[in-house]
Every structure is written in C-alpha cells, then in structure tokens.
Chain A
Amino acid sequence: MKILVCVNHVPDTTTKVNIASDNISIDQNGVNFILNPYDDYAIEEALKTKEKFGGEVLVCSLGGDQHKETLRKALSMGCDKAVLLKDLSVRDSFSIAFALSEFAKEYLPEIIYVGKQSIDYDDSQMCGLIATFLNWQSVTVVVKLNIEGSKVIAEREIEGGHEVVSSSLPIVISAQKGLNEPRYPTLKGIMESKRKPIDEKPAAICENKILVKKMSKPTAKSKGKIIGNDISAVKELVRLLHEEAKVI
C-alpha cells in the first residue's frame, strides 16, 4: 500500500510570537522550527499502516529548503521517501491543499495522513480540503483507527465524547493526540535518514482565497489582584467573583 503523510515545519510551541515589520507575518528571527506536533501522530500511524499492510510511506511538505529538516526527522522515524514541494510564495490552506492534492494525483497513495491542525495558523482544514480536491473520503481529529480491506472504522473526538465513523479507502485521516505513541528516531534511523534522498518538485500553483490584512498581538491584561496568601482569602475571592465579576 502506498501511504502519503503531509507534514509542516512550524515555530516551536515555546516561541514568543513577534510581528514582522510588514504587519502581516511573524518575525522569524531567533525562532526555532520543529515538526508540527500533530504530524508526529500522522507519521506514526502511517508507519503502523505500513507495518500492517506492507508498502511504503512517502512524507511530503510544501515550503522552502528549511522544511528539509522536518522531512529528515520524518525519514529518521522510518518514512521511506521524502518530497519537498518547493515553494516560497505566501499560501493559504486552500492553495497548499491544492498543491498537495496535485502531488497525490501523481503519487497515487491509497491513504493520506495529516496532523489535525498545524500549530502556526491553527486552521484545521488540510484533511477536508485535500480529500475534497481528490474526491476522497475524510475523517478528522481521529483518536482510533482500524483499516480492514477497503473498510475504515475511525473514532473522532467531538465535544464531550467520540464519534465512531464508518468510511472507506481511499481516505484522508487527520491525526489527534491519543491516536498512538509516536516513536523516537533510533540512532540507526537517523544514520539511514541521511542516505535517503529528499526529492524536490515544484508545487502546483493555485490562487489564495484568504488575504491577511493585519496581524496583531492580544491586548495585554493589566496585572490582576492578589487577594491573599492563605485560606482567609477565600471569602473575598467568592465575593469578588459574585459581585464584581458577576460570573458565579
């Protein structure tokens, strides 16, 4: 089975976000980039799928040369091949998904894994976009997955519970934390990943549908009130919540 995983290269979760002088992007100076945390689960599930059905896992990312670092990490975890859809233009989710789906039409996988969201723009759209471009099925925010033949049974997280979803291949799955325990790259994996090639291809072009007008920081809260240092402060806290904030 040919399995495709799409990954993103994003600022580390501890990053302090500073806005660049153009006012519509972040200042990348001193920012440490990592493999998008949810993509770890997507890669792990792809590797498990390969272990079950055989075949190969190709990992793909759209962006500049710096994405190679993230692709290399995916290779060291055990992905077989990597492709960088080289592109430096500013793209929205729609445009990225179009390019990824055009690549999928070339590679012809039976299943595509993505992370449930990219922690930079938090758009949570890639799964549904790619699937619909390909006219495939999709299940988002998946925490449990079972594939038998062409039948897919997935559990997805919803408010206050889970939905069990029945679907079929070919399919795009977006992985949520809890789906699996991502493996760490082994030393052997790291050595091998250095020999695996990263192919570069141009990304298919598609116009954006979203125009970023302005980026801003949340307004800083004025420092709150410290009510006390022990149990005697409890009465006052309840009074403030009830009378001042009126939230209880």
Chain B
Amino acid sequence: MKILVFAEQRENQFKKTAFEVCNAAIKLGLELNSEVVGLVVGESVSQIASKLGGFGIKKVFVVEDPRLKNYSTSAYSTIINQIIEKESISILFLSASAMGKDLAPCLSVKLNAGVASDCTQLKIEDGKIIATRPIFAGKSFVDVEITSDKKIFSLRPNVFTAGIASNETAEVLKFEVELLEKDFSTIVTEVKQSTNKKDVAEADIIVTGGRGLKEPENFLMIEKLADSLGAAVGASRAVVDAGWRPHDEQVGQTGKTVSPSLYIAVAVSGAVQHLAGMSSSKYIVAINKDKEAPIFNVADYGIIGDAFEIIPALTDEINKLKSH
C-alpha cells in the first residue's frame, strides 16, 4: 500500500499545509508499514522538492513544465492521475486548500476513489483508516471509512502539525508526463493577490470584528490590533452583509471555517452560524459589552466591556510585549 503526498507550492514556495500533509502521511505510513512518496508540480520545482526530506519523505517525484507555472485543474489532475496509476499508489493525501478541494473530486472520478474531504483527524482501527471530518460547519463530526480500493484524503489546513524540519533531503526524481494541449483546457491566467493581506483560512491568529463596532471606519482599530499580532482580520456575517468588509474575511457557516491558535472576537455576539465556523480555534478571546453574548460560552478568556476602550489598550500592551 503506497501513499502519495501532493505537496502544494505557489511561486516556488511550499505552502505550510504541504508540510502538515507530509507529516500526517508519514505518521500514518509508519502505522500501516507503507512507503510514502511525494509529488511536486510546477514550472521549476526540483530545488524545493528535496526539502520534503526534512519532513520524513525519502523520495519525491517532480513534474516540471513552463505551462505548469500557474495552477490548472485539468493538467494537475491528469498528472496526479498518471503518477498514481504508474506508481501503483493506493492512498493520496492532499491539503483541503482551494487547490486541493478543486483537485480531489476530479481525481475521485478518474481513479474511482472515494474522498474523505477536509479531515481533522486520522486514525487506524482494525487496519482501516478512519477519518474524522466536520459537518454542518463544525456543529457535528463524522467518522468515515473509504470503501473503495483507492482512497483520497484532503486534510484541513492548520489542524495537523507540520513539525520541525530536519536537515534530511529527499531523493528527487523527474516524472515524465506527456501533456497535450487539451490538458490545459482549464488554466489560471492570472493570480490577483489581495494587497498581501493574510487570509483567515491560513492564519495562526485571527482578530474578528462584529456589528458592535458600529461603523466600518472602526475596523481600523481591529486592523491595528491584528498588525500588532501578525494576525488576519476576520469579519462576522452581519458586517459583510452590510458591505463593511469583503466576503473573503467572513468567518462562519456561509464564510470560512477556521481553526487558528488564537481567535479574538471583538464586538461579535456569536450567532450559532459564527460559532460553527470558529469554535475549533485553540484559544478564543471574547471582548463584548453584552455579558449575555453567546460568544462568551465558547471563549477561554473574556472581557465584558467597551471595545472602543479595550482594543487600543490591548494593542498598546501587545506592542509593548513584542518590543521586549
């Protein structure tokens, strides 16, 4: 039973989630006594591919082509499909990132493999892999088993630990795939970065503002607090619907589900849809005037008080701590 890890890179840099997936696959490989190999796809990725050795992967395949600089659903899925067939791989691991979530279902049909998507836990019971995944935006969890011969697991970012890289380097092997024009039928032609800001889906710390901030201009103090912590700015549904903040910042059931180490909710009441999207954060801080606000039910630390006084003071205090 051979395991393949698809290690996602953008701009020749591995995503942190790539290491998380490597680490999880290696752990499972040890328990199943299975070899774990890696795959990196891009324009020129041999240089970075060997780094996966630091996370326990001994052998990494690379597929390089100038046309693979940007992501292509059709080309990337063709490549992964071919390597799985040729190398007799039975299990594929990838990140449940925008790219991984796009690829997994395409590969599911090509390989006739079931997908356990967005997994938050993996374990082995009676020799079978059991994946835990959140449903109803985290209001509940299911344990699932994939019954097909080939299996695909996509892992939720920020949940599995990446671990610390050792100095080991992996053996890098070129994998030849003949790519036809039709394999590039769907291709990214441009990547628009949103002004270098951090995305809530990937951030380790998130500061979220809610309607209690009264006016969109008051998000400036949320941004300042986020800056002091190197955090991403999040928004509740109410402020997104009011047009104060873009939808890509929305946390909750119709926004993003997040699990950072620290989540600071400022003037967010904590509707059930919001709690569903963030309650798996490791530490939650709630700052709200209303002591009855449901957000306090999930918070580890709370301050009942006026955000307009507390947030600037908190930002100062954190800046002080950081300057020591």
What separation, in Å, do the CA atoms of A233 and B317 have in the docked complex? 11
Known: A124-B101, A218-B279. A225 touches B302 (CB 8 A): yes
Asked whether any CB of chain B lies closer than 8 Å to the CB of A240, the reply is yes
What separation, in Å, do the CA atoms of A176 and B102 have in the docked complex? 13
What separation, in Å, do the CA atoms of A81 and B187 have in the docked complex? 33
Asked whether any CB of chain A lies closer than 8 Å to the CB of B214, the reply is no
CB within 8 Å of B: which of A92-135?
Answer: 92-94, 97, 119-129, 131-133
The secondary-structure label for the interface of chain B is mixed
A residues in contact with B317, CB < 8 Å? 234-235, 238
Let me know if A137 and B105 touch, CB within 8 A: no
Asked whether any CB of chain B lies closer than 8 Å to the CB of A148, the reply is no
Closest to B322 in A: A248
Known: A129-B108, A164-B188, A238-B314. A214 touches B254 (CB 8 A): no
The secondary-structure label for the interface of chain A is mixed
Let me know if A230 and B305 touch, CB within 8 A: yes
Asked whether any CB of chain B lies closer than 8 Å to the CB of A26, the reply is yes
Asked whether any CB of chain A lies closer than 8 Å to the CB of B44, the reply is no
Let me know if B205 and A13 touch, CB within 8 A: no
| Number of interchain pairs (Cβ within 8 Å) | 282
CB distance from B257 to the nearest CB of A (A): 8
**Per-residue A-contact encoding for B291-308, CB less than 8 Å = 1, 0 else:** 100001111111111100
What separation, in Å, do the CA atoms of A140 and B77 have in the docked complex? 14
Known: A129-B105, A234-B313. A209 touches B254 (CB 8 A): no
CB within 8 Å of A: which of B85-112?
Answer: 97-99, 101-106, 108-110
Instruction: Find A226's partner among B194, B202, B253, B302 (CB 8 Å cutoff).
Output: B302
Let me know if A213 and B194 touch, CB within 8 A: no
Asked whether any CB of chain B lies closer than 8 Å to the CB of A160, the reply is yes
Known: A15-B139, A128-B104, A209-B148. 12 other contacts (CB 8 A): A14-B271, A15-B136, A122-B118, A122-B137, A128-B109, A129-B109, A132-B108, A159-B97, A162-B191, A213-B143, A238-B314, A248-B229
27 pairs, A vs B, C-beta closer than 8 Å:
A13-B253, A13-B272, A16-B272, A94-B114, A122-B137, A124-B101, A126-B105, A138-B106, A139-B186, A160-B194, A160-B196, A161-B194, A162-B192, A163-B192, A164-B192, A165-B73, A210-B115, A210-B116, A212-B144, A215-B140, A215-B142, A217-B140, A226-B291, A238-B318, A240-B301, A248-B229, A248-B318
